[in-house]
């Protein structure tokens, strides 16, 4: 693991000499990073990873011989471990599908390149790559190390009335149980001290929920690490009686491929959301990449989505916009915040909390990037915290089906 003061060592793997030179220039002009090697094909890339032991690898997908996915399968990176792999992939439908496969194989994120326009898009690619390098730095230097999971406020009522409690598994390989607000007691339970030295303040207790009944809409915020995490969350939940709408931060060309990939993986209906179309039960809607959306009432008892231009939102699709509209429109909305850097979803979760609605948050320790979950937890907006599959099972119980 690198020390905070040492520059992070980057290996570039790409079969294009122009791409290698461009990436070398971008990384070389990014403070805190240094290029330690290059490889022009997958096989030499695997050898370079083993010999140079870089902290970060930028990896091309389409290479002769051993492609980027083949490289990932041989080095098998794991979350938080060296090296952190960032894919550099063609901005095409075929490239999008392969990129999603690469994310499933261990890459943390990707930088799309428009092959035929790359020379004119170099500044934009540089900006994107630097943002991904910042994510890698946060992971590798410990700045993204999560605090301990919050414990329930012992004086708060159970946050999910009329649903059975989650029982902690007795076998050690089972997913961790959800944290929920505990029954009333004589004194509040002590909160654990935060493990990471960067965070010495106590974590706020979990928020109690006053809304009752099965949800009529599930809204989800997801960013870096989302394509890997969403199947874990959705598998025990789907098919869900309530429509599920996901704001996954992703470029436009990738959202349809992600929807197709989730549908094939889960065996349920997953579609890219359309403007004005009725939201149906047993269906997962992925907001189009780069576009925001708000929920509106199409007719009594029927919800739909209105697609919006990106506007001034930093993150797109924007979860805050989605959550706030759900809080205003749905009768029994639920918010879910999964892995991601930043704080998208936090302000929208505040609107849901004001309705007394549940906000389920991924346990930061299980997230690829824990910024979004931590923001909601630190703001005291989380009603439950758990690993993605545990959140899915809990929502399945709320929705009235077995998870």
Four-residue CA torsion sign, 59, 77, 139, 394: positive
**What are the φ and ψ backbone dihedral angles of 318, each rounded to 5 degrees?**
-95, 120
Residues paired with 299 in a beta bridge = 302
The H or E element spanning position 258 is helix 252-266
Residue from 93, 88, 210 nearest 160 by CA:
210
328, with CB counted inside 10 A (0-12, 13-18, 19+), is middle
Does 344 qualify as catalytic in the annotation? Answer: yes
Q: Which residues contact 391 (CB under 8 A, 6 or more apart)?
A: 178, 233, 336, 360, 362, 384
Per the annotation, the verdict on 104 as an active-site residue is no
Burial of 76 (0-12, 13-18, 19+ CB in 10 A): exposed
Give helix then strand counts, H and E, for the chain.
11, 15
DSSP secondary structure code for residue 30 in this structure: S
Looking only at Cα atoms, what is the longest distance across the chain?
68
Given the residues 55, 249, 257, 383, select the one marked as catalytic. Answer: 249
344, 363, 366, 383: which is the annotated catalytic residue? Answer: 344
Angle subtended at Cα 153 by Cα 152 and Cα 159, rounded to the nearest 5 degrees: 70
**Is 223 one of the annotated active-site residues of the chain?**
yes
Q: Using alpha carbons, select from 265, 340, 339 the residue that is nearest to residue 104.
A: 265
- Catalytic residue, chosen from 89, 223, 255, 375, is 223
Residue 98 sits at φ, ψ, to 5 deg, of: -65, -35
Residue of 282, 329, 277 lying closest to 305 (CA atoms): 277
Determine the Cα–Cα distance for residues 156 and 144; give it in Å rounded to an integer: 30
Catalytic residues: 223, 249, 344
């Amino acid at each position: 693991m690198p020390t905070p003061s040492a520059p992070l060592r980057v290996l570039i793997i790409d079969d294009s000499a122009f791409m290698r030179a461009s990436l070398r220039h971008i990384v070389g002009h990014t403070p805190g990073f240094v290029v330690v090697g290059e490889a022009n094909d997958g096989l030499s890339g695997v050898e370079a990873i083993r010999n140079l032991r870089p902290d970060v690898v930028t990896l091309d997908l389409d290479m002769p011989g051993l492609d980027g996915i083949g490289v990932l399968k041989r080095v098998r990176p794991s979350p938080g471990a060296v090296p952190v792999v960032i894919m550099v992939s063609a901005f095409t439908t075929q490239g999008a599908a392969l990129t999603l496969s690469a994310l499933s194989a261990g890459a943390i994120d990707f930088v799309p390149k428009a092959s035929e326009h790359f020379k004119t898009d170099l500044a934009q690619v540089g900006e994107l790559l630097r943002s991904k390098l910042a994510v890698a730095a946060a992971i590798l230097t410990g700045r993204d190390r999560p605090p301990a999971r919050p414990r329930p406020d012992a004086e708060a009522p159970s946050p999910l009335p009329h649903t059975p409690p989650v029982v902690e598994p007795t076998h050690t390989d089972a997913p961790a149980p959800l944290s929920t607000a505990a029954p009333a007691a004589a004194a509040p339970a002590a909160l654990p001290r935060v493990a990471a030295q960067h965070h010495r303040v106590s974590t706020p207790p979990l928020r109690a929920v006053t809304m009752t009944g099965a949800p009529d809409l599930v809204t989800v915020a997801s960013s870096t690490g989302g394509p890997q995490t969403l199947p874990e969350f959705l598998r025990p939940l789907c098919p869900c009686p309530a429509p599920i709408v996901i704001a996954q931060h992703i470029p436009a060309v990738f959202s349809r491929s992600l929807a197709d990939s989730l549908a094939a993986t889960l065996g349920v209906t997953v579609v890219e959301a359309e403007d004005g179309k009725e939201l149906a039960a047993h269906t997962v809607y992925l907001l189009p990449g780069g576009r925001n959306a708000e929920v509106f009432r199409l007719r009594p008892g029927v919800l739909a989505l209105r697609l919006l231009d990106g506007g001034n939102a930093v993150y797109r699709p924007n979860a805050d916009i989605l959550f706030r509209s759900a809080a205003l429109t749905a009768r029994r909305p639920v918010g879910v915040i999964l892995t991601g850097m930043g704080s998208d979803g936090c302000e929208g979760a505040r609107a849901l909390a004001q309705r007394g609605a549940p906000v389920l948050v991924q346990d930061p320790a299980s997230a690829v990037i824990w910024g979004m979950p931590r923001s909601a937890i630190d703001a005291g907006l989380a009603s439950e915290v758990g690993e993605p599959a545990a959140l899915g099972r809990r929502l399945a119980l709320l929705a009235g089906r077995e998870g």
